[in-house]
């Protein structure tokens, strides 16, 4: 006669917990760490599976960011494959740099720019960091809000702007033509507390919602670079889950079969 004894139950619970952790990991439920900041961060509505958004993000990145930033864990050819672009398109439309011999950078190369460390340090005081993994270190909300939070600040001398998310940042407002210029205003939030707000004082070529989309696309692209196989992993994860559910069904039927003569 088989009886339910506690050790088996405990083992079952441990197994259940492990399975649950595994399933949650597959679903991509993990704690999000973002660098500390006193400003409330906004969350972009990113569609990681949208090739169109990623292509727009890649175009914006090579045009507006790569003059200063590299992304040198990422190859152009890999980006072409993942974003549904041909290598010819990428060579013609997305590569603006040259290699050490002065030739246009090859599509199999890493996404590096031509700025030397000394130049970066002299021009900005800090070397513009490699952005390949920034979506992991800072988090997507941080990047999204950061790119929307530049404001005019005459006290900043040369670059003339500051940022509420990253006060004192050495980066100029490179997207000013699109967003326009913002200024910082302090408002009373009704309960006697002062709140800092950014107000658009002279609009750029894009409306507020268009600029939000622009920044969402750049953030999406940075998130893709920080984790290029995320989409593949999710697809495989779904197959694994389906397989496990199938197995669960079979195991349940088997269990019923085994216990049929024991428990009535």
Applying CB under 6 A, the span of 37-45, 94-102, 140-148, 250-258 interacting with ligand HEC comes to: 140-148
**Whose Cβ is closer to ligand HEC: residue 23's or residue 123's?**
123
174 touching ligand HEC, by CB under 6 A: yes
Contact pattern for ligand HEC over residues 110 through 129, marking x by CB under 6 A: --------------x-x-xx
- Please check whether residue 117 is in contact with residue 127, taking contact to mean a CB–CB distance below 8 angstroms: yes
Residues numbered 45 to 74 that lie near ligand HEC (CB under 6 A) are: 64-65, 67-69
Q: Which of 46, 83, 165, 171 binds ligand HEC (CB under 6 A)?
A: 171
**Whose Cβ is closer to ligand HEC: residue 64's or residue 237's?**
64
**Whose Cβ is closer to ligand HEC: residue 107's or residue 115's?**
115
175 touching ligand HEC, by CB under 6 A: yes
Distance CA 264, CA 248 (A): 23
The first and second tokens of residue 159, run together, are 């670059």
- Please check whether residue 181 is in contact with residue 175, taking contact to mean a CB–CB distance below 8 angstroms: no
Using a CB cutoff of 8 Å and minimum separation of 24, what contacts does 246-251 make? Answer: none
Residues numbered 210 to 239 that lie near ligand HEC (CB under 6 A) are: 218
Distance CA 243, CA 82 (A): 26
Q: Which of 144, 146, 151, 224 binds ligand HEC (CB under 6 A)?
A: 146
The first and second tokens of residue 36, run together, are 């500390």
Q: Which of 56, 70, 107, 138 binds ligand HEC (CB under 6 A)?
A: 138
Smallest distance, ligand HEC to C-beta of residue 218, A: 5
Distance CA 74, CA 130 (A): 11
Q: What is the dihedral of CA 182, 186, 187, 191, to 10 degrees?
A: 140
181 touching ligand HEC, by CB under 6 A: no
The first and second tokens of residue 239, run together, are 């197959």
Distance CA 217, CA 115 (A): 25
Distance CA 151, CA 54 (A): 27
Residues that bind ligand HEC (CB under 6 A): 64-65, 67-69, 124, 126, 128-129, 131, 134, 137-138, 143, 146-147, 169-172, 174-175, 218
């Amino acid at each position: 006669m088989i009886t339910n004894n506690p050790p088996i139950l405990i083992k079952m619970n441990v197994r259940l917990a492990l399975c649950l952790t595994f399933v949650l990991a597959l679903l991509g439920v993990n704690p999000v760490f973002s660098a500390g900041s006193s400003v409330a961060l906004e969350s972009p509505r990113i569609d990681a599976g949208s090739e169109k958004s990623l292509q727009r993000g890649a175009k914006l990145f090579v045009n507006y960011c790569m003059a200063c930033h590299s992304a040198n864990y990422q190859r152009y050819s890999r980006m072409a494959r993942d974003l549904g672009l041909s290598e010819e398109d990428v060579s013609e439309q997305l590569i603006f740099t040259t290699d050490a011999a002065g030739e246009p950078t090859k599509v199999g190369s890493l996404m590096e720019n031509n700025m030397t460390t000394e130049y970066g340090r002299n021009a900005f005081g800090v070397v513009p960091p490699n952005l390949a993994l920034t979506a992991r270190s800072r988090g997507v909300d941080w990047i999204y809000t950061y790119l929307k939070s530049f404001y005019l600040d005459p006290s900043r001398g040369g670059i003339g702007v500051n940022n509420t998310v990253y006060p004192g940042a050495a980066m100029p407002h490179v997207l000013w033509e699109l967003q326009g210029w913002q200024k910082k205003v302090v408002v009373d939030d009704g309960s006697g507390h002062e709140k800092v707000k950014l107000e658009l004082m002279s609009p750029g070529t894009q409306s507020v919602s268009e600029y939000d989309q622009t920044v969402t696309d750049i953030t999406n692209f940075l998130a893709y670079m920080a984790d290029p196989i995320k989409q593949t992993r999710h697809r495989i994860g779904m197959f694994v889950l389906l397989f496990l559910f199938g197995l669960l069904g079979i195991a349940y039927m088997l269990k019923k079969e085994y216990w049929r003569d024991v428990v009535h």
